[in-house]
Amino acid sequence: MATTTQEVSKHQIDQLIEEYGYDDHFHEHHHEGDKYQSGFIQKYIFSQDHKIIARQFLITGMIWGILGGLMSLIFRLQLGFPEGNMAWLKPLLGKWIIVNDGIGTLDPEFYYALVTIHGTVIVFFVLTAGLSGTFSNLLIPLQIGARDMASPFLNMLSYWFFFLASVVMFVSLFLSTGPFAGGWVAYPPLSALPEASSGSGAGMTLWLISLVLFVVSVLLGGINYITTVLNLRTKGMNMWRLPLTIWSFFITAIIGLLSFPVLAAGFFLLMFDRLLGTSFYLNEIFINGHALDRVGGSPILYQHLFWFLGHPEVYIIILPAMGLVSEVMSTHARKPIFGYKAMVYSIASIGFLSFLVWAHHMYVAGINPFIANFFIVFTLIIAVPSAVKVFNWITTIYGSSYRFNAASMFAVGFVSMFISGGLTGIFLGNAVLDIPLHDTYFVVAHFHVVMGVAAFFGMFAGIYHWFPKMFGRFMDETLGKLHFWGTLIGAYAVFIPMHYLGMAGVARRYYKFDNFDAFSHFAGINKFITIAAIITFVFQLIFVINFFYSIWKGRKMTSRNPWGSTTLEWTTPIHAGHGNWPGKLPAVQRWPYDYSKNGRDFIPQIEPQSDAEKDEFH
């Protein structure tokens, strides 16, 4: 990098670590760890090394990203071209394409299954496991100066539970009765009664098993992340010297630890209702004209348990993205992040508030309007810390000589998406406005922009930025920028029109609108959205190709710290082995954002403060 003229050389880094470092006698111990580094299987498959586990999470997440994206294209084809001939999909989808007189149509049941599985896998497998699983694993030990996670074994289990969850979900796609089709939120009674629809039988059983395995994975991971951040920081790395990435992973793990068990409890009762005939969620249901003898339960109870996780879950997705963006932005702006402490306090208060707003998803579920007021107030208060963060990002890049590359552009794109989607959240947060907007495309647009696309942008920023750390090579910049512009324009082209559909009252989760004359003139918009979605997907393939090509053929990394970063992960050897640092652990002498300071481009965290610096406070 030409910009880092005063780059601290490899030699100097090693010298600093040797002179000031923290000797934990790691390499003197006999490590269980060293055994698993030996064979291929232990090194790359059942690995306990956090760097490998990070890659496993990422690649599994990417596979689900592609599958989930393809599913959305199929149901978008249905929405954009309801009269179109889908016979050509018959080889792929088999009996789910019904061919009549040579015209193929998508089975409505399978349409719902696609929508459901798309939502489930993108939310949980891609944006939770693929995002926070990948980067928490990669960066927590490296950025706090630890040898590995507190329990590498549990960490390995965390990945393998995710893997099992993936396998079960994947198998459910091939059931003859189809995968679960009752929506990603899995409300009873559709989810509780196997006879309710064809996907509610075996499909729902596998869906539940998969998600319970997934919850175990998240909890095992989260326990490790929290423990590691609190216990295994290197000398000098006090909490106020943690990079914002670590703060966000840390708070995310706490949110996950407190909310995923609640989802597990909700699922637990659902399983009883399904398998053992209890009536926690069921009351006076009629199926095919006759009443079931299940009385006394309440479907609203499920909604409470689900959204008590469900809302924190959206922050579990977005906080890691925010952390990555803060770090990438500050590095490429060559400026300290603006308002570091304010950033930390807003992450923490978002985390806290996220537990107090769940019922804003239930304004029309018949909750008491007075209670709704409580949730309105807290929902709108969340906008405050969110706005603080946006302000700080903008101020960080304002007036900087921003280095525009794929990573840093995705970071800016994230902020754009987060603002656009956050604004519509404020509409929805008001119960009065939400009553007409609920269950319309306005909600779909809101959460895709603010969570779906924004989190993907954060993830892309992270991948382009830390790719060299993961694979010792760079991704191609030109393709990366192309990917950025295609995704930015494409995503807005898909989702801005959806707001309009929603305001006009077009309901979500409908297979077809031909029975509703009022919506017939939206056919053109729906076509446009579908075409935009296909084009946007093609741009994602550019990313996938770039990613895999670069793993083996990308430009090689020649210096340890290509971006001129201050943080610890760039002080390890390019191909760091087990234990991350070959000798002592680096000791930390300063906060992580000393960019453009005292006439220097950057000062790494391992460099002691000068006497003049010691007297000023951070």
Among the listed residues 113, 242, 282, 443, the single contact to ligand HEM using CB under 6 A: 443
340 burial (CB, 10 Å; 0-12 / 13-18 / 19+) is: buried
For residues 267-279, b (16+ Cβ closer than 10 Å) or e, as one string? Answer: bebbbebbeeebb
CB of 56 to ligand HEM, least distance (A): 25
Does residue 186 touch ligand HEM according to CB under 6 A? no
For the CB of residue 585, give the shortest distance to other proteins in the complex, in Å: 9
Shortest Å distance, C-beta 456 to ligand HEM = 11
Nearest to 230 by CA among 149, 321, 345: 149
Partner from ligand HEM, other proteins, Cu ion, none contacting 118, C-beta within 5 to 8 A by type: none
Distance, CA of 221 to CA of 131 (rounded, Å):
13
Q: Which does 23 bind (CB under 5 to 8 A by kind): Cu ion, ligand HEM, other proteins, none?
A: other proteins
Partner that binds at residue 20, options Cu ion, ligand HEM, other proteins, none, CB closer than 5 to 8 Å by kind: other proteins
Dist. CA 375–CA 364, nearest whole Å: 13
Question: Among 10-18, 48-56, 380-388, 467-475, which window interacts with ligand HEM (CB under 6 A)?
Answer: 380-388
Q: Which of 360, 483, 560, 578 binds ligand HEM (CB under 6 A)?
A: 360
Give the phi and the psi of residue 601 in degrees, each rounded to 5. Answer: -65, -45
29 binds, among ligand HEM, other proteins, Cu ion, none (CB under 5 to 8 A by kind): other proteins
Cα 505 to Cα 498: distance, rounded to the nearest angstrom: 11
498: contact with ligand HEM by CB under 6 A: no
Query: Which stretch in 72-80, 275-283, 421-429, 601-609 sits in contact with ligand HEM by CB under 6 A?
Result: 421-429
CA distances from 433 to 26, 360, 371, 436 (A): 59, 12, 16, 6
The nearer residue to Cu ion, 311 or 499, going by C-beta atoms, is 311
Sequence letter at residue 368: N
- What are the phi and psi torsion angles at 114 (to 5°)? -60, -45
Contact between residue 425 and residue 383 where contact means Cβ atoms under 8 Å apart: yes
Burial state string for 219-236 with b = 16 or more CB within 10 A and e = fewer than 16: bbbbbbbbebbeebbbbb
Binding site for other proteins (CB under 8 A): 19-26, 29, 147, 150-151, 154, 219, 222-224, 226-228, 230-232, 235-236, 257-262, 264-266, 268-269, 272, 276-280, 295-298, 301, 304-305, 308, 587-590, 608-609, 613-615
183 by DSSP, 3-state: which? coil
Identify the CA nearest to 142 among candidates 43, 24, 51, 26.
51
Q: Which is nearer to other proteins, 259 or 346 (CB)?
A: 259
Tell me: does residue 499 bind ligand HEM (CB under 6 A). no
Q: Which stretch binds ligand HEM (CB under 6 A): 67-75, 272-280, 437-445, 597-605?
A: 437-445
Smallest distance from the beta carbon of 279 to Cu ion, in angstroms?
28
When asked if residue 428 is in the footprint of ligand HEM (CB under 6 A), the reply is: yes
Task: Closer to other proteins by CB, 260 or 539: give it.
Answer: 260
Among 71, 204, 282, 317, binds ligand HEM (CB under 6 A): 317
Check residue 351 and report its DSSP letter.
Answer: H
Name the site residues for Cu ion (rule: CB under 5 A).
311
Q: Which CB sits closer to other proteins, 144 or 498?
A: 144
Per the rule left: phi > 0, alpha: psi between -120 and 50, beta: everything else, 235 is beta
Say if residue 487 is exposed, middle or buried (CB neighbours under 10 Å; 0-12, 13-18, 19+). buried
Contact between 361 and ligand HEM (CB under 6 A)?
A: yes
- Smallest distance from other proteins to CB 151, Å: 6
**Structure-token pair, residue 216:** 């175990």
Local structure of residue 594 (DSSP, 8 states): -
CA 202 to CA 383: how far, in whole Å? 41
Does position 273 bind ligand HEM by CB under 6 A? no
Residue (249 or 402) nearer to ligand HEM, CB = 249
C-alpha closest to that of 119 among 437, 363, 480, 447: 447
Residue 209 CB, shortest distance to ligand HEM, in Å, is 22
Q: Is 422 in the site for ligand HEM (CB under 6 A)?
A: yes
| Measured distance CA(355)–CA(359) in Å, rounded | 10
In this structure, what are the phi and psi dihedrals at residue 470, rounded to the nearest 5 degrees?
Answer: -80, -40
Nearer to other proteins, 295 or 432 (CB): 295
**What are the residues binding ligand HEM (CB under 6 A)?**
185, 314, 317-318, 360-361, 379, 382-383, 386, 422, 425-426, 428-429, 434, 437-438, 443, 446-447, 450-451
